[in-house]
């Protein structure tokens, strides 16, 4: 009896095969940067962020698209929904929510890059997943220079107005007045009161990408007027987390 059970277990294990992510169908575009695969796993695109289509209120999701959120979702749907795609993984294949993290290709089209190039997404690198960062940076630069997508629709906001846009992707402009380094991050402060004023946060795991550009985050940006694009989060006032020097544009 025991031998028979062992045999059945071996047969079951032998019959189960790993998922072939080189040829897998997308069954639904959840939003601009997340899709559902045919194996029912959620996949989040690496290196980009798109405007939200929903907000969470009282423990449930409510449809409330941010500016260009629905457009990004529709564009993503046209690119991948119902199609077979090739997924490439980086050093980390899952995030803390259990979603897969990947670069998605439809034939020769790099979907993550396409969303950036057409102005439906912004760069959001997250070390150590930086395999295609140079291509993604170039795509965003092109979209920004040509005012594609939301680059032509968004107004640049002043650092003092950032608190009006919690949860939204925006470009914030201001002067870095002070810089503080803690044990795990560098904080670029855009006002006198770090508890309320806009802040750019650079975590320690991103420092090496600044050093490669001869930029020391603790000293380089002080006194400079910069623009930073990303999702504005609330933590001791408004903040944007950045992970590469390409996400901070020096104006003067």
Q: Which residues are catalytic?
A: 44, 52, 99
SS3 assignment, position 149: helix
Partners of 241 in beta bridges:
201
Contacts of 19 (CB under 8 A, 6+ apart): 39
**Among the listed residues 42, 48, 21, the one whose alpha carbon sits nearest the alpha carbon of residue 98:** 42
CB-CB contact of 184 with 198 (8 Å)? no
Q: Measured in whole angstroms, how far is the alpha carbon of residue 84 from the centre of its chain?
A: 23
Q: What angle do CA 62, 77, 111 make, to 5 degrees?
A: 120
């Amino acid at each position: 009896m025991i031998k028979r059970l062992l045999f059945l277990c071996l047969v079951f294990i032998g019959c189960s095969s790993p998922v072939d992510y080189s040829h897998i169908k997308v069954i639904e575009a959840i939003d601009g940067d997340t899709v559902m695969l045919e194996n029912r796993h959620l996949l989040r695109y690496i290196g980009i962020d798109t405007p939200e289509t929903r907000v969470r209120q009282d423990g449930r999701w409510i449809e409330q698209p941010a500016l260009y959120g629905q457009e990004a979702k529709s564009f993503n749907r046209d690119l991948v929904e119902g199609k077979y795609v090739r997924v490439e993984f980086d050093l980390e294949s899952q995030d803390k929510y259990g979603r897969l993290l990947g670069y998605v290709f439809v034939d020769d089209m790099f979907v993550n890059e396409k969303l950036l190039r057409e102005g439906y997404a912004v760069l959001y690198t997250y070390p150590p997943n930086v395999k295609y960062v140079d291509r993604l940076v170039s795509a965003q630069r092109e979209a920004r220079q040509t005012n594609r997508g939301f680059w032509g629709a968004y107004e640049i906001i002043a650092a003092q107005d950032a608190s009006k846009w919690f949860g939204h992707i925006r470009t914030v402009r201001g002067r870095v007045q002070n810089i503080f380094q803690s044990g795990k991050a560098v904080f670029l402060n855009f006002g006198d009161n770090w508890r309320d004023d806009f802040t750019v946060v650079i975590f320690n795991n991103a420092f090496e990408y600044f050093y490669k550009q001869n930029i020391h985050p603790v000293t380089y940006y002080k006194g400079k007027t910069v623009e930073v694009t990303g999702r504005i989060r609330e933590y001791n006032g408004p903040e944007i987390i950045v992970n590469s020097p390409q996400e901070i544009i020096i104006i003067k």
